[in-house]
Structures are given as structure tokens and as C-alpha cells.
Structure 1
Amino acid sequence: MKTIPIVVDCDPGIDDTIALLTAFVSPELDILGITPVCGNQPLARTVRNTLQVCELGRRADIPVFAGCFRPILREPIHGQFHGKSGLGNTSLSDPVKTAEPLSAVEFLVATLSRAAERNERVTICCLGPMTNLAVALRMKPQIAEGVERIVMMGGAYREPGNRTMTAEFNVLADPHAAHIVFSSEIPIVALPLDATHQVILKPEHVAQFASVSGRISEALTELMAFWDRNDVRRYGSRGGPLHDPLVIAYLLAPHLFETQRARIFVEHESELCMGQTVADWYGKSGLEPNADIVTKVDADGVIALLLDRLSRYADRERA
């Protein structure tokens, strides 16, 4: 099987954790490293959470590189729906695994430079603010040649923002980084709120995941139950949107997603609309599209895919 070499840039985070646990049991993905960043929680906590999740998934073999401790220019903001630790009420064991001495930015520069020299390409999965990648691109723009594409969760277009009236959290947390990345001309697949709000993790789904996920079922159930927003007015049902896992689902099953090409701009000057993502759907800017924006998702297909992958924890237990 030909695998996809990836780097997972994240800020765990409940939905990041579900994404990581899914990636860990997907042999199609060759995870070169995980690069936690300041986002849903401060950096020290996102690094710790990443190490804990690696051990929960029994993937201590994957190196973890601590990233940027703050946004490029603005003061940090943190997530509102992940609890005090970033993992809801879930209590995981203290990690034995430690982060690598190399920083996330150094790792990205070295890994992508090496890929470019070998005429290889790495896919970057951005599940949080894009500070690490933006700083790496600023340090050495040539690393873009080592990137196959960026598959990122972030932004909002026809859907309102989830942190302000106009902005989605990941972009708002470091709008200058997002501007740098969207200006890089690297191919991008963007999974905005318009897509992620189509896949709601409902209470009945949580029960299904609990029944199939074997040794991780207790932790997974606690994480998923905490994620229930109980906001029927916004989401149409109980539950919470599966933001970050859709990045991994897209890599594994792109046929479950429909996209539209557009030029994406990021507002990084106006306080009123800070972090807003604007899509030029009809070529009004005169600039070429720089992203494929996911506009439609087969929600049932994604839930079935995640159930299949997370059930592999039970299969491994039986083996």
C-alpha cells in the first residue's frame, strides 16, 4: 500500500484528539510527526495533551515537536468548548513520552527541505492556528516545494463565525499566520464551518462509538459526551460538530466531500472583522483560486468511516 506522508499540526483539543486517534489506526497515513501549537490551550498544555493522546493510542513511536507558544502578532486566545485541560473531563495518565528537542518550526523546515531535495512531497494537516507553518514559511519559503498540499480545518464563508460574528476560531487565533499560508500558493483544501457543521456528533453516535472502540471506549465516550453543545437552535440537534476529524476523513475518503475552487482572503487588520475568511467564488478579484473549499459532506459516510477506524482499537485488543 502506498502511504501518504503527513505532518499533523494541531492544538488538542477534543476534536483534535478524535482526529489523532483516527489517524493512528489508518495505515494509509505515514505520520512523520505531530506539531502542537498554542491554540485551544496554551502550548504547554497542547504539548502535554498530544503526548497523552499518543500514549492512549499506543503510538509513542510518533515524534512530537513543540511549536509556537503564541500567535505571530496578536495576544493568544483559547478555546471555549474543551474544558480547563483541553480534554473535557477526561483524565489520562501522565505521559511517559516526552517532546523532541527540536522545535516544530525546525522540524517543519528540515522535513520539508529534505522532501524538496528528494523530489518528494508531504501533506500538512492543519487542525489549529497555522502559526507553526507560517513561521516556517517565513524562515525558509523554499520549503513550499516540499509540500504536496495543506488540508486544513478553519474559516467560515456562508456560515457565521463560531468565535465572533464573522470569524472561525482557528483563523481568528492567528489571522496573520493564516494570511501568510493562504498567500503561499501551496495547494490548499479548506474545511470551513460550512462543511464541519454538516457533520454533527449526536448522542446516538456517541453510544455507537462507545460500543465499538474497545480499550479506548471510556476515554472516547467522555470526550465525545463533553463535546455535546446542546444547541439545537444552531445545529439542528443535540451534539457537536466534528471539526478536526474531517481533515483526516478527507485524506482517507475524499469521495465523501464536494469542493469548489476559490481565492481565499483573510482579514487581519480590521478589529470588527478580524480573522474573517472571504472567498472570491466568482473571480471578482482577478486573482487565481488558491484553495479547494469543501462545500458539501456526506455526513453518514463520515460517521461510518470514523466508526470503522475507531473500532480497530477493539480489533487490536482481540488480536
Structure 2
Amino acid sequence: MPLHKIILDCDPGHDDAMAILLALGNPNIELVAVTTVVGNQTLEKVTHNARAILEFAGAKQIPIAAGCTRPLVRAIQNAAEVHGISGLDGTNLPEPTIPLDKRHAVDLIIDTIKANPPKTITLVPIGGLTNIALAVRKAPEITELVKEVVLMGGGYHTGNRSAVSEFNIAIDPEAAHIVFNEKWPLTMVGLDLTHQARPDDRIMAEIAALKTPISEFVVRSLNYYTAGYRQRSGRSDHAPVHDPCAVAYLIDPSIIDTQKAPVNIELQGALTTGMTVTDFRSQATTDCHTQVATKLDNPKLWAMFIDSLKRLDK
């Protein structure tokens, strides 16, 4: 039996695609629903991409619902400079036929949590937090029903949208403020951790050597992602692949070190809006419901990912 039933809330996105494949291919994960939110691209585009990935991976049975088209308060931002006009530039997945669930993503999230025994559903948001914030505002009782929240976003020292804010938090900081301040167990898998999640030439060659349609998609996707990263950063290494880290933590927590610390979201700073303010003072961890990821076993992450790719192609 899978150890974790998860709802993956996402905005595919090349690294979102890798997170979906990791979840689908690992026997410790049951992906019970996929929901989409505006982020890396428009809601229409990321929802199309999520449908295409699920269908391509042979997972047409998983419910998928489209969510919020914009942040709670702020103007829409996207990451076209990273993921391209389609959100998955550099790839050529077949046009999906998988239908969307007729419910709004917020309602699918609430309904799924309530349809399962308490403390059995884990929320894994790997995009902006708009859907999750609205779900907990519409149905506050889910705070007590959810097992935990493991999200990709933020960073206790590192930003990418600004010097101190990470994209998923910065695009809807008000939603993040709601999610981080609910009293459910929450793990922030932020940039300080995910910047350690880089393939290398050997890992890419190992993926390519699988010679399957899914592995070919992964190689094309990560090659595009890394080429853009190198052009923007001037670096020569491979791009960090952020989103799979949140799923990997659930599969095997031993690959990621964590530290208890209160986290809150800056909403008003002229230079710091969207910052995940993390308090590492030892006295601040009493009765703390949040923790942050600090150190990754990168070889183990990629071994886990490649194992999922092999399982998906059996």
C-alpha cells in the first residue's frame, strides 16, 4: 500500500513535470488528484500541460481540476523567461484528451480531503498558494483533516524573484501568508534546498540511456530548462530542478535534512515583499508547526527519480 496519498497542486512548468513523474512512478505515493493554478504560465496553459503529462504517463484515471486564474490581490506574474510561451517549451507532448473534473480545484481539494479518513491526505503545492489558501478559507475544518503540507517555495536565505523572495511565494504572498499561518504541519522545501537538486552529465546520460518515450521527454525538458538557465545565469552547470524535492521528501525523508523554525510572509516591505522570514532562534521553536528543508542527498534524489522513470515504462 502507498505510504502517502497526495494532492499535487501545480503549474507545469518543466520542474513540475518532473515532480508529477516522480510521484506517478514511486510505489510509496498515491497521487489522488492534480490541481492547477496560475503561475509559470496562464491557468489555461498550465492546465493543458498537466493534462498532457498525466495522459502521456498513462495516468488518465487521476482527477484533475483547474483552479485560480489570478492571485488573491496582486497582478498576474508568470515565468515565461524560464518555461517559455507554452510553459513546457522544448517538448512536444501529444495533445491531451483527458477530461477536466467539472469542479473548481478548490472544491476538488476540499472534497478529496473530506472523502478520505482524517490525517491521510498530504497537500503538496509546488506553485503559487492561491488554491490552497482559498480551500482553507472556504473550509477551515480541513486544517485538522490534512496530514501535512509539504510545499516547494520560499527560501530562508535565498530568493529568485527578488533578492529575498522566491517565485511561488512572490506571485501571491497573501495566499502564502494564509497557508503558512494555519496550524497544520508544514514543511517548506525552499531554494536553499532545491538549489542543491542538480543533475549532472552522468545523470542525464543515465536518463537518456533508458530510451523510452518518457525518458526522452525528460531529457528534452531538462535540456531546454538548463540551456535557459545557463544563458540567464552565465553558469555552466545544470539547472536546479526544484519541484521534485517536495515529493522526494515524502517518499524518503532521510534524503532531506530539516530544521524546525517559525516562518512568516512579509507583505509590505518595499524590498522584501514575499520574503519567507524564518526565525532560527532556538527559543522560537517551541510548539512550532513549521520546518524548513536544509540539506539534500542529491545522488539519492536522482536515483529515486530514475527508478520512477523505469517503473513508468514497465
Q: TM-score, normalised by structure 2?
A: 0.94
Distance (whole Å) between structure 2 residues aligned to residue 217 and residue 270 of structure 1: 43
Report if aligned partners of 2:215, 2:309 keep a CA contact under 8 Å in 1: no
1:73-88 to structure 2, matched below 5 A, reads 73-79=73-79, 80-88=81-89
CA shift at 1:137, angstroms? Answer: 0.7
CA shift at 1:43, angstroms? Answer: 0.3
| 3-state SS of 1:302 partner | helix
Distance (whole Å) between structure 2 residues aligned to residue 224 and residue 2 of structure 1: 28
Q: Which runs of 5+ in 2 are unaligned?
A: none
Distance (whole Å) between structure 2 residues aligned to residue 69 and residue 306 of structure 1: 31
Report if aligned partners of 2:173, 2:267 keep a CA contact under 8 Å in 1: yes
Report if aligned partners of 2:118, 2:146 keep a CA contact under 8 Å in 1: no
Residues 286, 297 of structure 1: CA spacing in aligned structure 2 closer, same or farther, 3 A cutoff?
Answer: closer
CA shift at 1:191, angstroms? Answer: 0.6
After alignment, is 293-302 or 24-33 more displaced? 24-33
After alignment, is 213-222 or 135-144 more displaced? 213-222
In the other structure, the counterpart of 1:33 is 33
Q: 1:201 and 2:202 equivalent?
A: no
Residues 220, 155 of structure 1: CA spacing in aligned structure 2 closer, same or farther, 3 A cutoff?
Answer: same
In the other structure, the counterpart of 1:108 is 109
Report if aligned partners of 2:257, 2:295 keep a CA contact under 8 Å in 1: yes
Report if aligned partners of 2:67, 2:131 keep a CA contact under 8 Å in 1: yes
CA shift at 1:16, angstroms? Answer: 0.2
Report if aligned partners of 1:153, 1:244 keep a CA contact under 8 Å in 2: yes
Opposite residue 170 of structure 1, the aligned amino acid is N
| 3-state SS of 1:65 partner | strand
Q: 1:184 and 2:185 equivalent?
A: no
Residues 42, 227 of structure 1: CA spacing in aligned structure 2 closer, same or farther, 3 A cutoff?
Answer: same
Report if aligned partners of 1:64, 1:100 keep a CA contact under 8 Å in 2: yes
Opposite residue 53 of structure 2, the aligned amino acid is V
Q: 1:94 and 2:92 equivalent?
A: no
After alignment, is 32-41 or 283-292 more displaced? 283-292
Backbone CA RMSD of aligned residues: 1.9
Instruction: Tell me the matched-pair count.
Output: 311
Distance (whole Å) between structure 2 residues aligned to residue 177 and residue 201 of structure 1: 31
In the other structure, the counterpart of 1:130 is 129
Q: 1:304 and 2:300 equivalent?
A: no
Residues 225, 33 of structure 1: CA spacing in aligned structure 2 closer, same or farther, 3 A cutoff?
Answer: same
| 3-state SS of 1:212 partner | coil
Identity over aligned pairs, percent: 34
In the other structure, the counterpart of 2:47 is 47
CA shift at 1:111, angstroms? Answer: 1.9
In the other structure, the counterpart of 1:226 is 224
In the other structure, the counterpart of 1:17 is 17
1:209-248 to structure 2, matched below 5 A, reads 209-212=207-210, 214-228=212-226, 229-230=229-230, 237-248=236-247
| 3-state SS of 1:19 partner | helix
CA shift at 1:123, angstroms? Answer: 0.3
Q: 1:140 and 2:139 equivalent?
A: yes
| 3-state SS of 1:230 partner | helix
CA shift at 1:8, angstroms? Answer: 0.4
Residues 299, 234 of structure 1: CA spacing in aligned structure 2 closer, same or farther, 3 A cutoff?
Answer: farther
Distance (whole Å) between structure 1 residues aligned to residue 274 and residue 48 of structure 2: 27
| 3-state SS of 1:30 partner | strand
Opposite residue 70 of structure 1, the aligned amino acid is R
In the other structure, the counterpart of 1:166 is 164
Opposite residue 176 of structure 1, the aligned amino acid is E
Distance (whole Å) between structure 2 residues aligned to residue 96 and residue 233 of structure 1: 37
CA shift at 1:288, angstroms? Answer: 4.1
Distance (whole Å) between structure 1 residues aligned to residue 2 and residue 54 of structure 2: 23
Report if aligned partners of 1:232, 1:238 keep a CA contact under 8 Å in 2: no
Distance (whole Å) between structure 2 residues aligned to residue 306 and residue 119 of structure 1: 29
After alignment, is 106-115 or 144-153 more displaced? 106-115
| 3-state SS of 1:293 partner | strand
Report if aligned partners of 1:263, 1:287 keep a CA contact under 8 Å in 2: no
Opposite residue 61 of structure 1, the aligned amino acid is Q
* Aligned structure 1 segments of 4 or more residues deviating by more than 3 angstroms: 231-235, 283-288
CA shift at 1:287, angstroms? Answer: 7.1
> 1:90-131 deviations in whole A, cap 9, x for unaligned?
11111111211011111112222333xx43421001110011
Opposite residue 242 of structure 1, the aligned amino acid is V
Opposite residue 252 of structure 1, the aligned amino acid is I
> 1:221-259 deviations in whole A, cap 9, x for unaligned?
110101112279786x51111100111111111111111
| 3-state SS of 2:124 partner | strand
